[in-house]
A and B are shown apart, each in its own frame.
Chain A
Amino acid sequence: MNDLTLAPLTVVGAGPAGIMAAYTAAEAGVDVTVIDENPLPGGQYLRQSPPEFTIPDVVAAHSGHPEAAALYRKLEHPRIRTMHNTSVWGVFDGRMLALAERDRVYLHKANRVVIATGAYDRPLAFPGWTLPGILGAGAVMRMVKTQWVLPGKRVLLAGLGPLQLPLADLLLESGVEVVCVAEAANLFLGWRHLSGFWGHGDRIWEAYTYIKTLVQHRVPVFHNHAIVSASGKEQVETATIARLDGSGQPIAGTERQFEVDTVCLGYGFLPSIQLAMAFGCEPRFDENLSWFVPRHNDHMETTEPGIFVAGDVTDFGGAKVALAEGRVAGLAAAHQLGALDDATFNRLVAPALAELRHMNRVALALQRIYRFRRGLAFLASDDTILCRCEDVTLAKVKQALADGAIDLHQVKLGTRAGMGYCQGRCCSALIAPIVAKETKQSISTLHPFTVRPPIQPIPLQMLATGAVSMAVE
């Protein structure tokens, strides 16, 4: 398996952040291995349609990413080798990466690593949220943009954040009826953060064009509203939204019900921190996100020396921030590997950091305007499922707490929440606020679930191939 030996720099994730980190390091003279579980590069935002679909360039450009193709081409750099269809499923002995490629597993020693694993739709638990037809906004975006299929015909968008508008726009353009957009942010309070947009006129213009489309299609937009329940037999048939009070709790009597066949939940994203945690990187509690991200310094290095992060896995700023962070991480890794001397590194990293600061101003303003509102964590009723994998309800979690559990780990042992396929990716951020409230601690003092290999399920047959490749090495 010698051809699969990892280069001095391993980048996990071929989204904007990972590609830029790899390219920057390669330009500095470092050999790089890029690993991504998808068959094609691009990550979430720049995800490509399958090659079997023919999409005229005009349309591709219109759907948002004239810059995408240029980015993919960066991976053709002679110093970069990309392993597609390969996931990293564990970290052993501190620096050994366990990889799974199609039907085989391997173990390889990594040197420097950039973790650019991105993020996934943030779950929001309310009565009825597990019904088929209720999907994450990211899921809908991917479906429409890359698989060219519509999620349904009558869609309600509920969420928190600036991605709701382009999504509504996309659905309307594709001929879907959008019954309403429920935006949970209190924009009245948000205006004070708008100074962050100085010098970002393009972002304001972008927002304006989206709003124009909504107005044209007469789509009602309810600000300071959230989805509070959904019902249906085998799939969603109605969805109810309500106005929120100052803390983000729904106000009784303000409910409005809509007949729908699809609900799209866009309550932001949670970072894919599993790999960083598996490396032992210390988490930091982010107040706006109300969840944990890997802690990093100015040069994107985590608390584990030589392990860097970039992009959505640690800072939610959109694709441009991801690119800027990827550049900084790539330079820092190249510097550590001796490819850049101190002077050259300092000369190159200064403008990259300045660019990042500029991007971060608007990112931070957006994060503050759309900060996760506390009340949204308490929409579930006793029989609402919090852990989808193990069918664990709010009542069961409360029982475990009444029985003496005082942290996430003990709730897990008492209820099985977080023990299923997804290993708590979906439920941990739903359960933590409940634990914090009932035990009167701050969420920031809780620890996310321990990450244990495999971070993705591995069939036994496949695991068994590791025994063979060990013998060969």
Chain B
Amino acid sequence: MDTQNLRIQKGITRSKPFQIQVDGQLLFAYPGETLGTVLLANGKRAFRHTMLSGGARGIYCGMGVCFECLVTVNGQANVRACVTLAQPGDRVKRQFK
């Protein structure tokens, strides 16, 4: 997907961005953004493969109810990307098979 401009620009001013690592790649994040937002803004839809069927999953409910958007953050597995704020220096791994 062409991921340009997935962050809405009109009508909002963000603070100074910082970097986080996602699967080794450096990405910009803005203060106040969730990890889910940072991944989505960079066109990353699939966050993990399920342990049982191996199917790809990503954000679904966006409010912490469904536990589909689980990622590994700084070594901690199964963190909900949709309700977890990105912090400078975060190392995020998608939970792929």
Contacts and interface: CB of A to CB of B under 8 A. Distances in A.
Please tell me whether chains A and B touch each other in their complex, using a CB distance cut-off of 8 A.
yes
Given A49-B32, A51-B32, A152-B1, A136 B6 contact: no
Contacts of A138: 61-63
Given A133-B58, A426-B61, 15 more contacts: A52-B31, A59-B12, A120-B63, A130-B55, A144-B8, A147-B36, A148-B7, A148-B8, A148-B12, A149-B7, A153-B6, A235-B46, A422-B66, A425-B65, A426-B65
Nearest to B67: A421
A425 B58 CA distance: 17
Contacts of B36: 147
A139 B34 contact: no
A143 B62 contact: yes
A136 B67 contact: no
Interface string A272-283: 100000000000
Interface of B: 1-2, 5-8, 10-15, 30-34, 36-37, 40-41, 45-47, 50, 52-53, 55-68, 82, 85
B12 A132 contact: no
A55 interface: yes
Nearest to A55: B12
Interface in A380-422: 385, 388-391, 420-422
Contacts of A55: 11-13
A138 B64 CA distance: 12
Contact of B52 (A153, A391, A421, A457): A391
Q: Which 7 pairs across A and B sit closest by C-beta, in order of nearness?
A: A139-B62, A50-B32, A132-B58, A52-B32, A421-B67, A52-B31, A132-B45
A130 B57 contact: yes
Interface of A: 37, 44, 49-56, 59, 62, 120-121, 130-136, 138-140, 142-144, 147-153, 174-175, 234-235, 261, 272, 385, 388-391, 420-422, 425-426, 457
A133 B30 CA distance: 22
A138 B46 CA distance: 19
A381 to B, nearest CB: 15
A135 B46 contact: no
Majority secondary structure, B binding face: loop
Majority secondary structure, A binding face: loop
Contacts of A49: 12, 32
B11 A56 contact: yes
Contacts of B64: 37
Contacts of A135: 59-62
Most chain A CB within 10 A, of B31, B53, B63, B82, is at: B63
Nearest to B4: A153
B39 to A, nearest CB: 10
A123 to B, nearest CB: 8
A147 B45 contact: no
A71 to B, nearest CB: 19
Contacts of B1: 152-153, 261
24 contacts: A49-B32, A50-B32, A52-B15, A54-B12, A59-B12, A62-B11, A130-B55, A130-B57, A131-B56, A132-B46, A134-B60, A135-B61, A140-B62, A143-B40, A143-B62, A147-B34, A148-B7, A150-B8, A151-B40, A234-B45, A235-B45, A388-B66, A391-B50, A422-B65
